[in-house]
Amino acid sequence: MSISRDENRNVAKVPPIRIESCKGSRVGNTDGNDYIDYAGSRGASILGHKDPKVHLAVADG
C-alpha cells in the first residue's frame, strides 16, 4: 500500500459545512447549527478559537 492511499484511511467521511463563526470550542455554520470543534487543528484544540488573550499576545508581538 502506498503512503498516499494510506493517509486518509482514518479520516471521517462527513459532508462539508460552511463555517460562519468560531469561539472557544464552538463552531457555527451558515444554517444556524452549533457544533463542538472536537476535530480542530492543533492550535484550536489547545487554545480554542478567538481567545482574547491569544489575540492580544500576538498583536503585541
| pLDDT score for 56 | 92
- What pLDDT sits at residue 24? 86
- Domain range spanning residue 22? 17-60
Residue 56 resides in a domain: yes
Write down the pLDDT at residue 32.
95
Whether the pTM exceeds 0.85: the reply is no
- Residue 10 inside a domain? The answer is no
Question: What is the tally of structural domains in the chain?
Answer: 1
Cell numbers for 15? 459532508
Determine the pLDDT at residue 2. 56
SS3 assignment, position 26 = strand
Provide the residue-wise pLDDT of the chain in tens; the chain has 61 residues: 555 666 666 667 777 889 999 888 888 999 999 988 877 666 666 778 888 888 899 898 7
Q: To 5 degrees, how large is the angle CA 15–CA 51–CA 45?
A: 45
CA-wise closest residue to 49 among 24, 29, 20:
24
Structural domain includes residue 53 = yes
In a domain, residue 29? The reply is yes
Cell numbers of 47, please? 487554545
